[in-house]
């Protein structure tokens, strides 16, 4: 088996089940003898945890889309330099709950293109360069269902990370449409899965994709 590290990202709106599927995929890969770590954005590093608190808690109007994009890219730069790149260099596989596609989906499409796309492209080049995920798994679901799931989960959390959930449904519909548009533009990197099924069924579909894509059968 190749020793080369891989970078696989999970994307989608609120309540699509990304964290659950990342955990299950991590367990599957470990059984295959692959050295795998999991991470997330924002919050994949110690500094990122502070940025996460700022970005996903509190009032939805405490900052605008531009400020959000800049903070997300500060988090991303620290994430790639301190965690993702070193892990890949050591041959590890990194599974990340969100990466740069989230910033385009939320700060560009969600806000109805309030932050220019070229600005986000420039920030990407500055912070990340030419680096891209080997595979992006997009979990797609009706925003009404996803928001219901996410808010139910938040009810059991000590810290309410519901800043984006509190936005109007139009924002989440724009977000979903944006993700699907991005997936159409990069079909070699994105694989879209319907997330409105059982956890096990979705996991099996993702595993089949991973096995074929990375020759793990």
Average pLDDT over residues 194-198: 95
Q: List Cβ neighbours of 20 (8 Å cut-off, separation of 6 or more).
A: 199
Confidence grade of residue 116 (pLDDT, cut at 50, 70, 90): very high
Whether 123 shows a pLDDT value over 80: the answer reads yes
Backbone angles phi, psi at 139, to 5 degrees: -95, 120
- Token pair 């470990």 is found at 30
Question: Which of 125, 49, 39 lies closest to 83 in space, CA to CA?
Answer: 39
**What CATH number does the domain located at 6-213 have?**
3.40.50.300
Which pLDDT does position 165 carry in this prediction?
76
Which pLDDT does position 54 carry in this prediction?
93
Confidence grade of residue 102 (pLDDT, cut at 50, 70, 90): very high
CA distance 215 to 162: 38
CA distance 62 to 59: 6
* Lowest mean pLDDT segment, chosen from 4-8, 35-39, 159-163: 159-163
Tokens of 124: 């990407």
Whether 161 shows a pLDDT value over 70: the answer reads no
Q: Which pTM value belongs to this model?
A: 0.92
- Pairing assessment for the beta strands 6-11 and 135-140 based on DSSP bridges: parallel
Whether 1 shows a pLDDT value over 60: the answer reads no
pLDDT, one tens digit per residue, over 18-54 is 999 999 999 999 999 999 999 999 999 999 999 999 9
**Domain ranges for the chain:** 6-213
CA distance 179 to 48: 24
Confidence grade of residue 160 (pLDDT, cut at 50, 70, 90): low
Which pLDDT does position 147 carry in this prediction?
83
CA distance 8 to 76: 15
Whether 174 shows a pLDDT value over 50: the answer reads yes
- 3-state secondary structure at position 37: strand
Which pLDDT does position 148 carry in this prediction?
84
Whether 143 shows a pLDDT value over 70: the answer reads yes
Average pLDDT, the chain: 92
Which pLDDT does position 164 carry in this prediction?
73
Residue 140: which H helix or E strand, with range?
A: strand 135-140
Which pLDDT does position 156 carry in this prediction?
65
Which pLDDT does position 154 carry in this prediction?
63
Average pLDDT over residues 187-202: 97
Which pLDDT does position 2 carry in this prediction?
46
Distances (CA, A) of 178 to 93, 101, 120, 199: 27, 10, 14, 24
CA angle 25, 107, 78 (to 5 degrees): 60
Distances (CA, A) of 54 to 58, 109, 172, 198: 8, 21, 20, 33
Which pLDDT does position 58 carry in this prediction?
86
């Amino acid at each position: 088996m190749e020793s080369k590290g891989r970078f696989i990202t999970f994307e989608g709106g609120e309540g699509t089940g990304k964290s659950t599927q990342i955990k299950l995929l991590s367990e599957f890969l470990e059984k295959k003898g692959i050295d795998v770590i999991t991470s997330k954005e924002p919050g994949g590093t110690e500094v990122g945890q502070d940025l996460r608190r700022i970005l996903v808690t509190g009032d939805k109007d405490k900052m605008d889309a531009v400020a959000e994009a800049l903070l997300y890219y500060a988090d991303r730069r620290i994430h790639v330099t301190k965690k993702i790149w070193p892990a890949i260099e050591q041959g590890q596989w990194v599974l990340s709950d969100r990466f740069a596609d989230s910033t385009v989906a939320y700060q560009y499409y969600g806000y109805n293109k309030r932050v220019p796309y070229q600005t986000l492209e420039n920030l990407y080049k500055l912070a990340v360069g030419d680096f891209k995920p080997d595979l992006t798994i997009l979990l797609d679901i009706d925003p009404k269902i996803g928001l219901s799931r996410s808010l139910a989960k938040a009810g059991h959390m000590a810290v309410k990370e519901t800043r984006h959930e509190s936005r109007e449904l139009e924002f989440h519909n724009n977000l979903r449409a944006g993700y699907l548009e991005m997936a159409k533009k990069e079909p070699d990197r994105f694989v879209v899965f319907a997330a409105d099924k059982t956890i096990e069924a979705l996991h099996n579909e993702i595993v089949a994709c991973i096995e074929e894509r990375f020759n793990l059968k």
